[in-house]
A and B are shown apart, each in its own frame.
Chain A
Amino acid sequence: KQEVTQIPAALSVPEGENLVLNCSFTDSAIYNLQWFRQDPGKGLTSLLLIQSSQREQTSGRLNASLDKSSGRSTLYIAASQPGDSATYLCAVTQGGSEKLVFGKGTKLTVNP
């Protein structure tokens, strides 16, 4: 059974810092991996999707990497801003299924 773990559970940083969020998964037979953002009491916004054949994806100040063989992904946020404060969720899709398996998320607070 696939399990997704995110470390740390919470992170507080001053504005302007670069930071890394970590995600690990137990079964490397994934189809893709996604990073989402969730604001309090809201649904999910997809940030980046990495196919299993890819190593990384970039969007603006966000960069996600994938090391499928070791079961790890990182989300790098450059020059963090208070507006980046949210919970960041990592999720994987197994081959042959569209089901997403989520981690518990990392709650990020960027202080002005």
Chain B
Amino acid sequence: GAVVSQHPSWVICKSGTSVKIECRSLDFQATTMFWYRQFPKQSLMLMATSNEGSKATYEQGVEKDKFLINHASLTLSTLTVTSAHPEDSSFYICSATIIGQAYQPQHFGDGTRLSIL
């Protein structure tokens, strides 16, 4: 149980395009979804926290106009990297917590490898 699905798993695109990444909780409703970015040999860095029906809370240094987060339902959150550039190339991972279970393990997706040419 508690499966989080991320799509796509890998995307390569040209500089200047926008890329949307989906994060779905398949068998549970998620109170909160989190978006992380991981550069090679670095730790996961939290980008933003999103709750269904409200605006995402971005971490310091993360451009909210660059990384658009939509959390339209209790099972789906999307991250759109707008006008992506090579420096946005990274591994993006989402996670979700089960509704009604605060401070319990976050359940992670398998990540999306984004490569901007």
Contacts and interface: CB of A to CB of B under 8 A. Distances in A.
A42 B103 contact: no
Contacts of B109: 43
B44 A89 contact: yes
Contacts of B54: none
A4 interface: yes
Interface residues on A, range: 20 to 34
Contacts of A34: 105
Contact of A43 (B32, B46, B49, B111): B111
Nearest to B93: A43
A98 B46 contact: no
Given A98-B32, A102-B44, A104-B43, A31 B111 contact: no
B108 A102 contact: no
B23 to A, nearest CB: 11
Interface string A88-105: 010101000011111111
Q: Is the interface of A mostly helix, strand, loop or mixed?
A: strand
Nearest to A34: B105
Interface residues of B, number: 26
Interface stretch (A44-52, A61-69, A71-79): A44-52
A104 B44 CA distance: 8
B75 interface: no
A108 to B, nearest CB: 14
Contacts of A4: 43
Greatest chain B CB density within 10 A among A44, A101, A102 is at A44
Interface of B: 4, 6, 32, 34, 41-46, 49, 91, 93, 95, 97, 102-111, 113
- Complex A-B, nearest 6 residue pairs according to Cβ-Cβ distance, in ascending order: A102-B43, A44-B108, A43-B108, A43-B110, A104-B43, A46-B105
Interface of A: 4, 31-32, 34, 36, 41-46, 49, 89, 91, 93, 98-105
